[in-house]
Chains A and B, each alone.
Chain A
Amino acid sequence: MKLNGAQILINSLKSEGVKHIFGYPGGAVLHIYDALNACDEIKHILVRHEQGATHAADGYARASGQCGVALVTSGPGITNAVTGIATAYMDSIPMVIISGQVPSALIGNDAFQEVDAVGITRSCVKHNFLIKDINQIANTIKKAFYIATTGRPGPVLIDIPKDITIAAIESKPYPNSVEMRSYQIPSRADSAQINAAVDFIASAKCPIIYSGGGCIIGNADFELRAFTRQLGFPITQTLMGLGAYPATDKQSLGMLGMHGTYEANMAMHDADCVIAVGARFDDRVTANIDKFCPNAKIIHIDIDPSSIAKNVAVDVAIVGDVKSVLSDLMTKMKTKSIQDISPWWLQINQWRSIDSLAYQTKSGVIKPQTVIETLYEVTKGNAIVTSDVGQHQMWAAQYYQFDQPRRWISSGGLGTMGFGLPAAMGAKFAKPELDVACVTGEGSIQMMTQELSTMLQYAIPVKIVNLNNGYLGMVRQWQEFFYDKRYSMSYMDALPDFVKLAESYGHIGIKIEKESDLKSALIEAFKQKDRTVFLDILIDPTENVFPMIPSGAGHHEMLLAGRDKMASTNDKGLNLV
């Protein structure tokens, strides 16, 4: 039987087990959409903007662990998708993006809706392909999914000219495997390196485990928990790693980095052994690199060799899949004794007693921290929480206690405003049985409100928690601290009536102005199982995110919230103003 390129493409996606595609049609992909129309196994979700398609595919991938798939047309279709591709790339999210291209004969001719998709996306994909031969469609898709989902995952783009989707050939079976001499996934980690790590771990008196997104992407949460509990070491997690280890566990010190807890950052600074597991020493985590972990031996476990020694020199480099490396380490550690670290725990508990996430409530205003704590309470900590980018993102990370992986979905690396709502949509498709909340701000949400329309069309129930302070809050916070309160362009005038906006899209809108209404409104919202509810919550516009490590400072030089004033820490510890 003869099949055209579009049919081969769709059949290949079916063979890869694709169940959902987020996309938007256009001239170059009309044949693909025609083939998709005849396919019952794949559900296509028509977004309202291609950036929404890539973020939704990304949220789907993060929530499910499966590869997300987006389909867009040539030209503006793919350029709109680029932000979502770059977002996925920075956070190592498995995604396959199929973009239409003008017919082969027109490539390079400045044809209508032509852009060099492969060129534009080159620096923000794990790999990309331009299919030039209909016989290569199936093989290329096989390769794309293999590359996207193995090793350190990432987005892979397939650009397919229109004529290739129209041409027809005899159908062939989908390939079972791929062979790529130039792409090898790291095999089991080097045992010499494992042994070296074991020696450092065994002799550590002030150890800390610093775990990142790799533990979630690598499905290593079980091993991370077992490893941490076996050793009894304190653990701190990056923004991307939240949930891999339960936040409510006593060994957890919370998040580290620019807005990390006092105990996590101080423990990093004073540690003599840092075990980095699937984390990449990002600048938001390390703070001033010259002041980073001055006394520590550093063990770095990562599947990507280029992550190792990129920012920080390490003492032991273990290249491998975190899941298997942690298993190997646990086996080796069983026969080793470790140091008594109770003095270290005493010190940590002293830092903890400062309660760096404490905040002052004020009558008449709703504190954003209270909103997140109430969200946690109402959802019993079981919701998937997506976020946009800014202050609300940090509050969500600090005050929602993530005890399970794949419940916290946030753009960590690229910091993409507009990510939260489409990502929530994708997450809901991946996990329909879970409540999904999108914590956002009035700045971020306005970058993607058009997706409210998609959510109506497909009846996707998401609870939007809009922390509305009328400011681009994180910008305002930096301007307050470092630009002498010159609030340049951080105030957003002429906000829409979000309740009416939600209602005009067929959803429920609730405005919350009093703290006494907060909990009941959240309970009511989550009772609406099959409706999207937009909660526009007017919060204290002056609230800032603490603790904070200002640029140039080290982990031990945090600014802390103290009775409406900033307090700073130094080598000797807390210095409350």
Chain B
Amino acid sequence: MRHIISVLLENEAGALSRVAGLFSARGFNIESLTVAATNDSTLSRMTIVSIDDNNIIEQVVKQLNKLIDVVKVTDLTATEHIERELLLVKVDINQQTQADIDKKIDAFSCKIVDVSEDTYTIELAGKSQKINDFLASLDASKILEVSRTGVTGVCMKREN
């Protein structure tokens, strides 16, 4: 099952590699990983997506909790939560394809953030599935470059 694990950790040099190293050393999967400072500058928020059996994810959460730099671990998937991912995709544009791409941009409520002579750079934020669907809808041969941020998320209720 796909789990979104939210990790609050000390904003210290090496903290990221402790988490990444844990995943590689213990053979856990990482689908995506995002990290940035929070409103408290001493803390970072890391969001990890991992697809594995529930008992392995339980072990992932326990091992993360064991890291000295980790303050709190939440499996967002176990609670009501919101997840978002940002996509930037550069596509090839010509007179034949432009109308079709414009239609899809409308359908998925994307934004065109840059236009050049023969390319569009398109921005889309949403659940990973929506981004997958949008990319699948495009003609693969016209996709020049894809950059996804990976998932970030929050719990919907106020946390204690």
- Among the stretches A207-215, A305-313, A322-330, the one at the interface with B is A305-313
- In Å, the complex CA distance between A123 and B58 comes to 20
* Complex interface: chain A residues within 8 A of B70 (CB): 182
For A130, A182, A305, A310, which residue has the most chain B Cβ atoms within 10 angstroms?
A182
- A226 within 8 Å of B (CB atoms): no
Beta-carbon contact of A306 and B68 below 8 Å: no
**A498 vs chain B, min Cβ distance (A):** 39
* Complex interface: chain A residues within 8 A of B18 (CB): 122
- In Å, the complex CA distance between A304 and B71 comes to 16
The verdict on A304 contacting B66 (CB below 8 Å), with A119-B17, A123-B25 known, is yes
Instruction: Considering the complex, give the chain B residue whose CB is closest to the CB of A181.
Output: B71
- In Å, the complex CA distance between A48 and B14 comes to 32
* Beta-carbon contacts under 8 Å, B49-70 to A: 55, 58-59, 62-63, 65-66, 68-70
Instruction: Considering the complex, give the chain B residue whose CB is closest to the CB of A184.
Output: B65
* Beta-carbon contacts under 8 Å, A241-279 to B: none
Beta-carbon contact of B59 and A182 below 8 Å: no
Beta-carbon contact of A130 and B13 below 8 Å: yes
**B100 vs chain A, min Cβ distance (A):** 49
* Complex interface: chain B residues within 8 A of A181 (CB): 71
Beta-carbon contact of A182 and B21 below 8 Å: no
- In Å, the complex CA distance between A183 and B9 comes to 11
**A320 vs chain B, min Cβ distance (A):** 15
* Complex interface: chain A residues within 8 A of B66 (CB): 304-306
**A434 vs chain B, min Cβ distance (A):** 35
Interface residues on A, range: 10 to 19
Beta-carbon contact of B68 and A127 below 8 Å: yes
Indicate which residue in B14, B55, B63, B71 contacts A182 across the interface (CB closer than 8 Å).
B71
**A503 vs chain B, min Cβ distance (A):** 45
**B33 vs chain A, min Cβ distance (A):** 17
Instruction: Considering the complex, give the chain B residue whose CB is closest to the CB of A119.
Output: B17
* Complex interface: chain B residues within 8 A of A118 (CB): 14
- In Å, the complex CA distance between A180 and B55 comes to 29
Beta-carbon contact of A183 and B68 below 8 Å: yes
* Complex interface: chain B residues within 8 A of A20 (CB): none
Beta-carbon contact of B14 and A180 below 8 Å: no
What 0/1 pattern do residues 532 to 566 of A give for CB contact below 8 A with B?
00000000000000000000000000000000000
The verdict on A305 contacting B68 (CB below 8 Å), with A119-B17, A122-B21, A123-B21 known, is no
**A123 vs chain B, min Cβ distance (A):** 5
Beta-carbon contact of B14 and A130 below 8 Å: yes
* Complex interface: chain B residues within 8 A of A122 (CB): 14, 17-18, 21
Indicate which residue in A123, A147, A305 contacts B65 across the interface (CB closer than 8 Å).
A305
For A119, A305, A309, which residue has the most chain B Cβ atoms within 10 angstroms?
A305
Beta-carbon contact of A309 and B71 below 8 Å: no
Indicate which residue in B25, B59, B65, B69 contacts A310 across the interface (CB closer than 8 Å).
B59
- In Å, the complex CA distance between A123 and B26 comes to 10
* Beta-carbon contacts under 8 Å, A146-205 to B: 147, 180-183
Beta-carbon contact of A309 and B10 below 8 Å: no
**A374 vs chain B, min Cβ distance (A):** 43
- A126 within 8 Å of B (CB atoms): yes
**A158 vs chain B, min Cβ distance (A):** 13
Indicate which residue in B9, B10, B25, B62 contacts A306 across the interface (CB closer than 8 Å).
B62
* Complex interface: chain B residues within 8 A of A304 (CB): 66
Instruction: Considering the complex, give the chain A residue whose CB is closest to the CB of B72.
Output: A182
- In Å, the complex CA distance between A278 and B17 comes to 30
**A125 vs chain B, min Cβ distance (A):** 10
* Complex interface: chain B residues within 8 A of A147 (CB): 68
* Beta-carbon contacts under 8 Å, A114-151 to B: 118-119, 122-123, 126-127, 130, 147
What 0/1 pattern do residues 1 to 39 of B give for CB contact below 8 A with A?
000000001100110011001000100000000000000
Beta-carbon contact of B68 and A309 below 8 Å: no
* Complex interface: chain B residues within 8 A of A310 (CB): 59
Beta-carbon contact of A182 and B13 below 8 Å: no
* Complex interface: chain B residues within 8 A of A126 (CB): 68
- In Å, the complex CA distance between A130 and B17 comes to 14
Instruction: Considering the complex, give the chain B residue whose CB is closest to the CB of A132.
Output: B13
What 0/1 pattern do residues 111 to 148 of B give for CB contact below 8 A with A?
00000000000000000000000000000000000000
- In Å, the complex CA distance between A309 and B58 comes to 9
* Complex interface: chain A residues within 8 A of B71 (CB): 181-182
**B90 vs chain A, min Cβ distance (A):** 34
Instruction: Considering the complex, give the chain B residue whose CB is closest to the CB of A183.
Output: B68
Beta-carbon contact of B68 and A182 below 8 Å: yes
Instruction: Considering the complex, give the chain A residue whose CB is closest to the CB of B68.
Output: A127
- In Å, the complex CA distance between A118 and B10 comes to 17
Instruction: Considering the complex, give the chain B residue whose CB is closest to the CB of A128.
Output: B14
Beta-carbon contact of A182 and B17 below 8 Å: no
**A291 vs chain B, min Cβ distance (A):** 19
* Complex interface: chain A residues within 8 A of B14 (CB): 118, 122, 130
Using a CB–CB cutoff of 8 Å, the interface residues on chain A facing chain B are 118-119, 122-123, 126-127, 130, 147, 180-183, 304-306, 308-310, 313
The 9 closest A-B pairs by CB, nearest first: A306-B62, A127-B68, A182-B71, A123-B25, A305-B62, A183-B68, A306-B63, A306-B66, A122-B21
Offer 28 A-B interface pairs, CB within 8 angstroms, sorted by A: A118-B14, A119-B17, A122-B14, A122-B17, A122-B18, A123-B25, A126-B68, A127-B68, A130-B13, A130-B14, A147-B68, A182-B68, A182-B69, A182-B71, A183-B68, A304-B66, A305-B62, A305-B65, A305-B66, A306-B62, A306-B63, A306-B65, A306-B66, A308-B62, A309-B55, A309-B59, A310-B59, A313-B55
Besides A127-B68, A183-B68, A309-B55, 13 other CB < 8 A contacts?
A122-B17, A123-B25, A130-B13, A130-B14, A180-B68, A182-B9, A182-B68, A182-B70, A182-B71, A305-B66, A306-B62, A306-B63, A313-B55
Using a CB–CB cutoff of 8 Å, the interface residues on chain B facing chain A are 9-10, 13-14, 17-18, 21, 25, 55, 58-59, 62-63, 65-66, 68-71
